[in-house]
Amino acid sequence: MKARFLWRAFKARYRDETAELSVIREFIRPGDTVCDIGANKGSFLWWMSRWVGPGGRVIAFEPQEELAEYLRKVCHILKLSNVTVEAKAAGAVTGTDTFYIPGETGTSPGASLNVRVSQREMCRALSVPVTTLDDYFDADCPVSVLKLDVEGAERGVFEGARRILKDRSPLLVFECEQRHLDTGDVFDVFRILEDLGYVGEFVYGKKLRPLSEFDPSIHQRQEGHRFWDAKDYCNNFVFRKGHA
């Protein structure tokens, strides 16, 4: 368990998500509170825990109970005492909602509150607890980073974090894909953030490029088998308040 967890962490840092983790590293300060929303198997948690230090906090939201329990165990083994794992989703409204998990058994990285998941493939539908980030965190909490991988449910997370986005201006690192959205397009998500003073970039390879260069017809073209693995396919974004 420990070796596999660390392997995922180093693979993310030095191969698969170099740009994303590098910008998070630059932004985090010791003592900060950061969030991993849709933590799955926790490839970001090792680094976040180290970078916020013993005086900081990492909150991991993972509604799949089996994965949440796995994260709790591995964080205990590795003594990541500043990590709190919540077996709940972050969304637009606090309460409960239907969570869709692809497949008949087990966990899935494609699980989401987004109903479109169930329209694409066979899913189990479970009722899960949901919290808004504004309800979860006190107004004076120094939230500095929100990392999201929520498979099309990004808009709801941001709608439920308007106070934090307005008052705390956290760095946002998130996945957003047209193929996952049940209504509208990726620019609807971006406009929510731009209206709050954020400026976006997208990850192209291992570098950040201005959002003005992002073209869904090129960077999220839905042609061919496993089109999301194409070289030019881009689905990760970084938004910073007032960053040019």
The Cα 158–Cα 239 span in angstroms is 12
State the pLDDT at residue 31: 97
Task: Look at 158 and 225; give whichever has higher pLDDT.
Answer: 158
Whether the predicted model's global pTM rises above the 0.85 cut: yes
Tokens 């959205």 sit at which residue?
Answer: 181
DSSP 8-state assignment for residue 112: B
Percent of the chain with pLDDT over 70: 99
Residue 82 falls in which region: left (phi positive, over 0), alpha (psi -120 to 50) or beta: alpha
The Cα 239–Cα 216 span in angstroms is 17
State the pLDDT at residue 117: 76
pLDDT in tens, 130-147: 999 999 999 999 999 999
Percent of the chain with pLDDT over 90: 85
The Cα 24–Cα 141 span in angstroms is 18
pLDDT in tens, 153-204: 999 999 999 999 999 999 999 999 999 887 789 999 999 999 999 999 999 9
pLDDT in tens, 42-86: 999 999 999 999 999 999 999 999 999 999 999 999 999 999 999
Report, as an integer, the average pLDDT of 211-216: 96
For domain 2-241, the CATH architecture is 3-Layer(aba) Sandwich (3.40)
Instruction: Map residue 102 onto helix, strand or coil.
Output: strand
> Which residues in 182-216 are b (16+ Cβ under 10 Å) and which e?
eeeebeebbeebeeeebbbbbbbeeebeebeebee
Enumerate residues 6+ apart whose C-beta is below 8 A from 225.
none
What value does the mean pLDDT of the chain take? 95
pLDDT in tens, 14-41: 999 999 999 999 999 999 999 999 999 9
pLDDT tier at 116 (50, 70, 90 boundaries)? confident
